[in-house]
Amino acid sequence: MKVHHRDIKKNKTGEMVFTAEEPEDLWHIYNILEKGDHLTASTIRNVKRETTTGSRTTERKQFKITIQVESTTFDEEYCCLSAKGRNMAESEYIKLGIL
């Protein structure tokens, strides 16, 4: 794991900026995250658009999302980390507060 920035106070508040470089890093991130933490990550979503003529198109968009963590799960078989929470930063593709 590459740590870009770390500012942790004695009362265990603060922020960390890091990049997972290996699958095992996700396990460590899973153990660091707690309910109420804010998590910013890059995501890819299918965005549906409707034109004025009524035709619909779907395209894949990559963007950053910030959520307030409500729960996390880690799949050991696939080494996959999932975090569930409400959106804390509104974007063109996701409204504020969406789960």
Q: What is the pLDDT of residues 4-18, one digit of tens each?
A: 999 989 987 888 998
pLDDT digits (tens, 9 = 90+) for 48-83: 888 888 889 899 999 899 999 999 999 988 989 999
pLDDT reported for residue 98: 72
Boundaries of every domain in the chain: 2-87
Supply φ then ψ for residue 86, to 5 degrees.
-90, 145
- Residue 2, C-beta contacts closer than 8 angstroms, at least 6 positions apart: 18, 19, 21
Evaluated on CA atoms 23, 28, 29, 34, the torsion sign reads positive
CATH number of 2-87: 2.30.30
pLDDT of residue 99: 64
> Quick count: other Cβ atoms within 10 Å of Cβ 16?
14
Q: What is the mean pLDDT of residues 22-44?
A: 91
pTM of the model: 0.76
Give the distance from CA 34 to its chain's centroid: 13
